Structures are given as structure tokens and as C-alpha cells.
């Protein structure tokens, strides 16, 4: 017989899907039973938890009938065997053993008043079967007989369950939502909205754990990164029913800011099951017992209370300033070029005023003035650092940094490489004070270039910034700090660099020293653009506009956020970016 053709048939013969049903199959070669319990999702389920061995096959049934049929040598003997279980001559008598086999195969459930019993298989038409079963069940009206039906040859739970699903496609009995947050960020609104993400939809095929039906549901979730200085808080995963009259919740605390939620309807109970997986630990449980607990609606409403959002733009701005800058002044004996940073201070004051026009700005500023070797060049200092700090009064801050800051320098190069090393967050000795979540900007202003690296032949035409290219003749002092490496590391640490070159005022435009200095500043600022500025002029390049355009928008919550968000796209302009992924 073609098994595929009978798959729907034995299931269609079930009388009442609202009551438990025991299906007993009797053939000469097999006695088997399947206990089916009613289910609003699967119509019938095989409940191994409530009924141990819901599927049972007799191991001695075939031997019993093989022995009896071997003794029934005539057609009359066979008729006696099928109808009465014995023959008058006493050659065979299977009645006692038959009752024992049927009693072993029938579950206690078969005697319950509400249980239906379907007897199928070729033996179902034999009178001896009905005569033996009725006393065992105690209710003749509970029995139905169909000798034209059979169970599948493969009597595993998965096989029977799949055949039931073919005839009765499972449907979810209710709708379940997950409570999440959705940021609304536009010109008129900055707020959270509660977004209920449907996990299970009533009437739709339910997600299940095994492979006999659709796979489990899965959804990535993201935690809102807290404000600087605050620790991440655990997340509440709140599941509400479709009518929002009931709620379940469990708490997770993943090591990263991203996790994956999986859910399914348990077979056979139909209960919603969830697992939260920590993606930073190879999908291990996200530090939770992963068990739902019932909470009242009022408690769920409290957990769903929406925090407010405020916009902030956190920026760290460090200036490296050439302390050897000079300008022309009139002296008693004519024009003189003297150390003077007054034009620089005016320039910086104008620039900071432009930057501060940006609303909701959390600005920290730092500065490092660089001079040169005091013993050799006559400089007043090697470098003078001012770590990053909140900028409350730019005028006062500039006065503190630049008072008595101008210094003499009697050679070409200066200690720019030391200032770069101080600002480099990768260096152990750096104390610039960059904040981890701030947008980082480094603006280098000056004309005195750094000393060449002592491990590099500066007159080798194949090395970067070879002195041979500029036809220099002097032998420079070298430095253990490679300024080119410092620039590369700054960029790797996501520090944006801008070069503001101040042309030497007292030398010709075509002088090789001027070309070399200009090329150094071009290299420093190539990432965001470089600017050639004469601080004696009133022109200020659009640096503030450039910085403002690249500010990272961060919307910080007013309180710890304990609900997840669902879309990584929110991380572009929102503080749920997970920098560890």
C-alpha cells in the first residue's frame, strides 16, 4: 500500500479533536498504539511528558500469531482463530494471551469516559478483537473500527507529528509582542516611542524548535550605550499578549551591546519559549536564566516607561601650536622678527567662537605648545602641554595657555614630534585626556617642522620627506620619535588631523625650507584638507564648519534604558553604536 496515500486517511478518521484519542493498530505482524491529546495549535499532539510511551509497539505480538497460524492447518481452523481465538479441538487458544497483549498496549487513558478509541488495521474486522477489547475498555460505545487504515511504518514521534501537520496545519492560538524602543530623531522631535514587535501572530504557522515545521523565530536586539561614565544596565525583555492584558518578562545582561533573541512555541504544551543569546560569547545564554515569569500589567507598564532623549555632540579638540612663531615688529633699529603668538591667540579665539555656536555641544579643549631643545637652540621650553578639559570660557583658557608662551629657536626644525607623541592616545606617556566616546580632532598650527627620525637617512632620495629632494645642505638634529608613525597612529585611533600652515614670513616663497614645511603640513592635514593661513590677515578658513559637519550626533537618554532597540540602522545617529563589534 502506498503510505503517502493513507497519511491523511487515518487522521481524518479521528472522531473528535477536542477529546483524547487512542489509536490501536492490529495486523498479524504488528500491534501498536498512539496516544493523541487535543491541542489548539497542532489539533493533536503526542504528549510523552504526560503519557509515557505515547507510541508503543508490542514485541511479542507477531510471535503469538505466527505460532497460532502455524497450528491452524485448515481454512476452518483459520476462521476459528480469527473469529473466536481458539478451535474446538484445543489445538490452539490465543484468548488469554490476546487479552494480555491488548491490556498491555492500552493506556489507562483508554478507560477514561471522554477518551475515543480507534481500532485500525486488518485485524480490526475480526470479532475476537472487539470481543476482547470491550471488557478491557469498559465502554463499547468508545470503540470505532476501521480495517482499511494503518499507521505509518515509521512510528517515531517526528513522523507521526509531521503527518498530523500535513492534515491539520498548525496555527498559533494567540499573538505575542516584544516591547522595544524606537528613537524618533528629526528636526521637530527627539524622543523614544514604544514599538511592539510581533513575535507570534494568531492564526499563523507557529515557530517551533525542531525541523519538522518552520524554524524558530530570531531577532537581533541592541542595547542603548549609556552616557559616558555610566555602566551598562541589564535589559528587560517584556512579552505582551495580543490584547495587552497579560505580560511575561525576563532579564538579560549581555557582555556586549548586541544579543539575539530566539523564540518558539513548545511542543506539545504550546507555551511560548524564549532564549537570549550573547553574541560576544559565541551565542551563549546572555547571562540570564532565560525563563519567563508572569508579571502584572501594571508592573509591565512601569518597565515600559519611556526615558526622554537629549541631543549632545561630544567633541575633543586639541591644538598643537608652534611656540616659535614670529612676526615683524618695528624696533629702534628697524624691522625685527620676534617671537609672538598674539596673532595665533586671535585666530584661535575666532575659531573657538565659531565652534561654540553649535548647540548642545559638549566641548573639551587641550593644547600643546612645542619649542625646541633648550640647551642647543635657546628655546624656553621643549613642549608645554595642557590636557583636555571642559571649555567654559575660551578667552580665559587661551590666556592661560598662551601667556609667556612665545619662544626663540635658532634652528630650522623644532620638537613637533614630541607634541604629536603627547597627543597620540596609543602612547603610554600620553596624557592628553581624550574621551573614549568623543569625536577627536587635532589641529596643528605652525611652520617649524619636526626633526627627522634618527633611524632614517634623511638624505636618502627613497625615504619619505628626503632632504635630498629639497636640496638641503645642513645636518639636522634627529629624534627617537618617528613623526610619520605618530600621524599614522593618530588616524588609526580615529583622531581627525587638520594642518594649518603658517608661511615663514621672513623668507622667500620659493625657498626650499618653505616648500618642505608646507609639504609636512599637507601630509598632516590630508585626511580632512589642509589650509595655508597667514595669521596677519583677517581670513579664517572654514575649519569650524568642517568640524561641525563631522560632529557625531549622540542622543543621550535621561535615565538608564532597560528596553532594547531592534534596528542597527539606529546606531548611525544614535548612541546605541556598539564599538566592540
DSSP string, 55-115: EEE-SSHHHHHHHHHHH--SHHHHHHHHHTSB-TTSS-B-HHHHHHHHHHHS-GGGGSTT-
Q: Model confidence at 347, in pLDDT bands (50, 70, 90)? A: confident
| pLDDT at residue 379 tops 80 | yes
Q: What is the DSSP letter of 553?
A: P
| More confidently predicted of 581 and 414 | 414
Per-residue pLDDT, 3 = 40
Query: Is 3-167 in CATH node 3.30.300.180?
Result: no
- pLDDT value, residue 369: 93
pLDDT above 70 (res 408)? yes
User: What Cα–Cα distance (Å) separates residue 302 from each residue in 251, 309, 355?
Assistant: 15, 18, 41
Among 6-15, 229-238, 478-487, 518-527, the range with the most confident prediction by mean pLDDT is: 478-487
Would you state the pLDDT for residue 229? 67
User: Which set of grid coordinates corresponds to residue 281?
Assistant: 560569547
The predicted pLDDT at position 580 comes to: 25
Enter the pTM of the model: 0.63
Percent of the chain with pLDDT over 70: 85
Q: Tell me what pLDDT residue 534 has.
A: 58
Q: What is the pLDDT of residue 287?
A: 47
Considering only CA atoms, which of 575, 549, 567, 580 is closest in space to residue 181? 567
153-190 pLDDT, tens digit per residue, is 899 888 898 889 888 899 999 999 999 998 887 777 88
- For residue 295, pLDDT beyond 60: yes
Query: Which of 449, 442, 405 has its CA nearest to residue 422?
Result: 442
The answer on pLDDT for 230 being more than 80 is no
Fold category of 312-345+356-528 in CATH:
Rossmann fold (3.40.50)
pLDDT-derived band of residue 568, with 50, 70 and 90 as boundaries? low
For residue 532, what pLDDT band results from cuts at 50, 70 and 90? low
Q: Which H or E run includes 199?
A: strand 190-200
Per-residue pLDDT averaged across 356-367, rounded? 84
The alpha carbon of residue 548 and the mean position of all alpha carbons in its chain are separated, in whole angstroms, by 30
Cβ-based neighbour number of residue 152 at 10 Å: 17
Averaged pLDDT score across all residues of the chain? 82
Residues 6+ apart with CB under 8 A from 21: 14, 15, 35, 36, 44, 115, 116, 117, 118
Look at residue 336 in the predicted model and tell me its pLDDT. 67
pLDDT at residue 222 is higher than 60: yes
Using pLDDT thresholds of 50, 70 and 90, give the confidence band for residue 6: very low
Q: Where are the domains of the chain?
A: 3-167, 176-308+558-572, 312-345+356-528
pLDDT bin (cut points 50, 70, 90) of residue 579 is: very low
Q: Which tens digits make up the pLDDT trace of 490-509? A: 989 989 888 888 876 666 76
How much is the pLDDT for 531? 58
pLDDT at 2: 43
Q: What is the pLDDT of residue 215?
A: 74
The span from the CA of 330 to the CA of 349, in Å, is 25
Mean pLDDT across 221-241: 82
Looking at 142-146, 193-197, 237-241, 556-560, which range is the least confident one? 556-560
Q: How many C-beta neighbours within 10 Å does residue 528 have?
A: 16
Q: What is the 3-class SS of 416-441, one letter each residue?
A: HHHHHHHHCCCCCCCCCCCCCCCEEE
- For 137-157, write each residue's pLDDT tens digit: 887 778 899 999 999 989 988
pLDDT at 96 (0 to 100): 93
- As a whole number of angstroms, the distance between CA 368 and CA 387 comes to 8
pLDDT higher than threshold 70 for residue 569: no
pLDDT of residue 551: 65
DSSP single-letter state for residue 533: -
Amino acid at each position: 500500500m502506498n503510505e503517502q496515500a493513507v497519511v491523511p486517511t487515518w487522521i481524518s478518521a479521528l472522531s473528535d479533536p477536542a477529546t483524547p484519542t487512542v489509536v490501536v493498530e492490529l495486523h498479524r505482524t504488528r500491534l501498536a498504539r498512539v496516544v493523541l491529546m487535543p491541542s489548539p495549535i497542532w489539533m493533536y499532539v503526542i504528549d510523552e511528558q504526560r503519557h509515557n510511551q505515547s507510541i508503543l509497539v508490542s514485541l511479542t505480538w507477531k510471535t503469538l500469531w505466527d505460532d497460532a497460524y502455524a497450528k491452524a492447518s485448515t481454512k476452518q481452523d483459520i476462521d476459528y482463530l480469527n473469529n473466536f481465538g481458539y478451535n474446538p479441538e484445543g489445538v490452539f487458544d490465543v484468548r488469554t494471551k490476546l487479552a494480555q497483549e491488548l491490556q498491555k498496549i492500552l493506556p489507562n487513558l483508554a478507560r477514561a469516559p471522554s477518551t475515543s478509541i480507534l481500532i485500525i488495521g486488518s485485524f480490526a474486522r475480526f470479532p475476537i478483537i472487539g470481543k476482547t477489547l470491550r471488557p478491557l475498555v469498559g465502554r463499547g460505545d468508545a470503540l470505532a473500527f476501521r480495517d482499511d487504515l494503518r499507521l505509518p511504518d515509521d512510528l517515531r514521534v517526528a513522523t507521526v507529528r509531521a503527518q498530523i501537520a500535513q492534515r491539520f496545519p498548525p496555527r498559533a492560538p494567540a499573538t505575542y509582542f516584544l516591547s522595544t524602543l524606537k528613537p524618533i530623531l528629526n528636526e521637530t522631535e527627539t524622543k523614544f516611542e514604544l514599538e511592539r514587535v510581533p513575535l507570534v501572530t494568531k492564526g499563523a504557522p507557529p515557530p517551533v524548535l525542531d525541523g519538522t515545521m518552520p524554524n524558530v523565530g530570531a531577532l537581533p536586539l541592541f542595547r542603548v550605550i549609556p552616557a559616558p561614565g555610566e555602566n551598562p544596565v541589564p535589559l528587560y525583555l517584556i512579552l505582551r499578549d495580543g490584547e495587552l492584558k497579560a505580560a511575561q518578562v525576563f532579564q538579560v545582561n549581555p557582555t556586549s551591546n548586541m544579543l539575539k533573541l530566539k523564540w518558539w512555541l513548545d511542543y506539545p504544551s504550546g507555551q511560548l519559549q524564549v532564549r537570549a543569546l550573547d553574541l560576544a560569547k559565541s551565542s551563549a545564554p546572555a547571562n540570564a536564566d532565560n525563563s519567563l515569569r508572569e508579571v502584572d500589567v501594571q508592573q509591565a507598564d512601569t518597565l515600559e516607561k519611556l526615558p526622554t532623549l537629549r541631543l549632545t555632540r561630544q567633541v575633543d579638540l586639541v591644538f598643537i601650536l608652534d611656540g616659535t612663531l614670529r612676526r615683524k615688529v618695528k624696533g629702534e633699529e628697524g624691522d625685527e622678527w620676534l617671537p609672538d603668538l598674539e596673532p595665533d591667540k586671535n585666530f584661535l579665539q575666532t575659531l573657538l567662537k565659531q565652534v561654540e555656536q553649535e548647540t548642545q555641544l559638549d566641548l573639551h579643549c587641550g593644547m600643546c605648545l612645542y619649542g625646541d631643545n633648550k640647551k642647543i637652540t635657546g628655546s624656553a621650553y621643549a613642549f608645554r602641554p595642557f590636557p583636555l578639559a571642559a571649555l567654559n570660557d575660551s578667552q580665559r583658557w587661551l590666556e592661560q595657555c598662551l601667556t609667556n608662551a612665545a619662544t626663540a629657536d635658532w634652528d630650522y626644525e623644532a620638537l613637533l614630534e614630541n607634541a604629536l607623541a603627547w597627543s597620540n592616545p596609543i602612547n603610554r606617556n600620553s596624557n592628553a585626556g581624550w574621551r573614549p566616546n568623543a569625536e577627536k580632532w587635532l589641529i596643528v598650527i605652525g611652520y617649524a617642522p619636526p626633526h627627522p627620525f634618527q633611524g632614517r637617512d634623511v638624505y636618502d632620495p627613497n625615504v619619505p620627506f628626503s632632504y635630498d629632494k629639497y636640496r638641503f645642505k645642513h645636518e639636522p638634529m634627529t629624534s627617537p620619535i618617528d613623526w610619520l608613525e605618530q600621524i599614522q597612529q593618530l588616524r588609526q585611533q580615529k583622531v581627525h588631523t587638520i594642518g594649518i600652515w603658517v608661511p615663514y614670513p621672513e623668507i622667500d616663497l620659493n625657498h626650499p625650507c618653505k616648500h618642505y614645511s608646507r609639504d609636512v603640513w599637507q601630509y598632516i592635514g590630508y585626511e580632512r584638507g589642509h589650509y595655508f593661513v597667514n595669521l596677519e590677515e583677517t581670513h579664517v578658513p572654514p575649519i569650524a564648519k568642517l568640524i561641525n559637519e563631522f560632529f557625531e550626533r549622540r542622543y543621550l537618554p535621561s535615565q538608564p534604558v532597560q528596553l532594547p532597540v531592534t534596528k542597527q540602522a539606529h546606531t548611525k545617529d544614535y548612541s546605541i553604536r556598539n564599538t566592540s563589534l
